[in-house]
Amino acid sequence: MTTNGSDKSAEKPPVELYTGSERPYDPEDLVKVSGREPTPATLEWARRLMAEEGPGPAIERYLP
């Protein structure tokens, strides 16, 4: 039994978050994890950063 008195958890897991092992990172992932809104300018920023540093290192700077 959970803390809400039910057999099932009341919280649903986020549907837009990934651990990174399910699929490769894309520029939109980097923009979102950095706390920015996906706009043409921020997506271009993310593309440049991922091209310079690689997808993994670029996104890891924003993950805990």
Residue 57 burial by Cβ neighbours in a 10 Å radius (0-12, 13-18, 19+): exposed
Burial class from Cβ neighbours inside 10 Å (0-12, 13-18, 19+) for residue 42 reads middle
Could you tell me the residue ranges of all domains in the chain? Answer: 27-60
pTM: 0.63
Q: What mean pLDDT do residues 38-46 have?
A: 96
- For the segment 2-12, what is each residue's pLDDT rounded down to a tens digit? 455 656 655 66
